[in-house]
Amino acid sequence: MFSNILTIDDYNFEGKTAIVRIDINSPMDPKTGKILDDRRFLSHRDTLKELVEKGAKVVLIAHQGRPGDADFTTLERHAEFLEKIIGSRVKYVDSIFSSYVINEIKNMRNGDVILLENVRFYSEEVLNRPPDAQAKTFLVKKLKSMADVYVDDAFATAHRSQPSMVGFPLVLDAVAGRLMEKELKAIWNIMQHPEKPVAFILGGTKADDSIRAAKLALENGTDYILTGGVVGNIFLAAKGYRIGEPSIEFIRGKKMVDQIDIAKSLLGDYEDRILLPEDLALDSHGERMEIPVSELPKNYRIADIGEKTIARFAEIINKC
């Protein structure tokens, strides 16, 4: 698997300009804009510190949120946050490929780091198309002449065929960052030496991606799919539960109502392997209120799985 995948070890970065795709898309407080979770920033620390130490000129590309979402915003705070994580100055540049960006890149010195504006502000970035088409986008055409190498460290975004992910490797030397390398090795080891049983834990708000992953996992013999978050809510709705207006409205807002029918089909084929929450935590005016699913619907947002579900899932995880 790794014979054709180059890593940071395979390139001399001294004095070279590296476009580095990272994924620092993180939960943010909608009122204050405060970043609430540093885990994705920390996951890139080794890659970025190493590139700085090797004397690269590091041009970071990243995103935050999706167009129309409450957390779709600039990356100014992300630059400040990242600076603390890696211990080097990270200059925020509030543009993506303008003449201002070109001049900033031209003026970089070895070891400098800049973070470009939220790449999803650029409309073509949100289109999933084949790599050869993405290599012809304005983003790639404008920045490729300013760079020597592309470093992909955005494992969490690797499933997306977008310009910043798949366009640059066709026009620049390309290597995997340390996070990407680590995750690929972990997947390879699992594929080469699978240990049964296998469980997937799927939650969060990107339910369409998670349900697609669940389908593939089940088709390939995964023993358990443990569901929570919006994924769990969609499967509960597919099972026939009325999950309450606040939660179904959130699914509508994310344009994922169609996922309920997909989840229903998966339950028809694999119901014994898809585990739904048996109790839930609701957000009752800022307080956690737990109920069994049999007491649905309630006019409160479903915020989490409940204690009994946690215990049940923990037993399964401990078997794996």
* Statement to judge: residues 173 and 227 lie in one domain: no
Total domains in the fold of the chain: 2
Q: Which of 183, 205, 230 is the last residue of a domain?
A: 183
Question: Quick one: pLDDT band at residue 188, thresholds 50, 70, 90?
Answer: confident
pLDDT greater than 90 at residue 320: no
CA–CA separation, 215 and 218 (whole Å): 5
Q: Are residues 230 and 164 in the same domain?
A: no
Specify if 213 maps to a domain. Answer: yes
Maximum separation of any 2 CA atoms in the chain, in Å:
63
> Structural domain of residue 273, as residue ranges?
194-319
Tokens of residue 237, six digits: 């709705």
Mean pLDDT of 276-290: 93
108 and 61 part of one domain: yes
Residue 247 resides in a domain: yes
> What CATH number corresponds to the domain at position 223?
3.40.50.1260
In a domain, 2, yes or no: no
Residue 57 lies in a domain: yes
Verify that 179 and 203 share a domain, yes or no. Answer: no
- Domain-embedded: residue 270: yes
Q: Give the model's pLDDT for residue 1.
A: 52
- 93-102, 200-209, 310-319, range with the lowest pLDDT: 200-209
> Does pLDDT of 147 surpass 90?
yes
Give 19's strand partners.
Answer: 59, 150
Please report whether residue 12 resides in a domain. yes
Query: For residue 2, what pLDDT band results from cuts at 50, 70 and 90?
Result: low
Task: Render 23-47 in DSSP notation, one character per residue.
Answer: -----B-TTT--B---HHHHHTHHH
| CA end-to-end distance (rounded Å), the chain | 25
| Domain membership flag for residue 189 | no
Query: 15 and 101, same structural domain?
Result: yes
Stronger pLDDT, 84 or 286, i.e. the higher one: 84
DSSP H or E segment with residue 133: helix 131-134
Average pLDDT over residues 229-254: 93
**DSSP SS3 for 269:** helix
Average pLDDT in the 84-93 region? 96
Same domain flag for 127 and 175? yes
Average pLDDT of the segment spanning 234-239: 96
150 phi/psi in degrees, rounded to 5: -115, 130
Q: Say yes or no: 163 and 291 in one domain.
A: no
- Mean pLDDT (the chain) is 93
- The alpha carbons of the chain give a radius of gyration, in whole angstroms, of 21
Same domain flag for 102 and 215: no
Q: Which long-range contacts (CB under 8 A, 24 or more apart) does 219-224 make?
A: 222/198, 222/273, 223/196, 223/197, 223/198, 223/199, 223/273, 224/197, 224/198, 224/199, 224/200, 224/273, 224/275, 224/316, 224/320
Residue 1 lies in a domain: no
pLDDT (tens digit per residue) in 8-43: 999 999 999 999 999 999 988 878 888 988 999 999
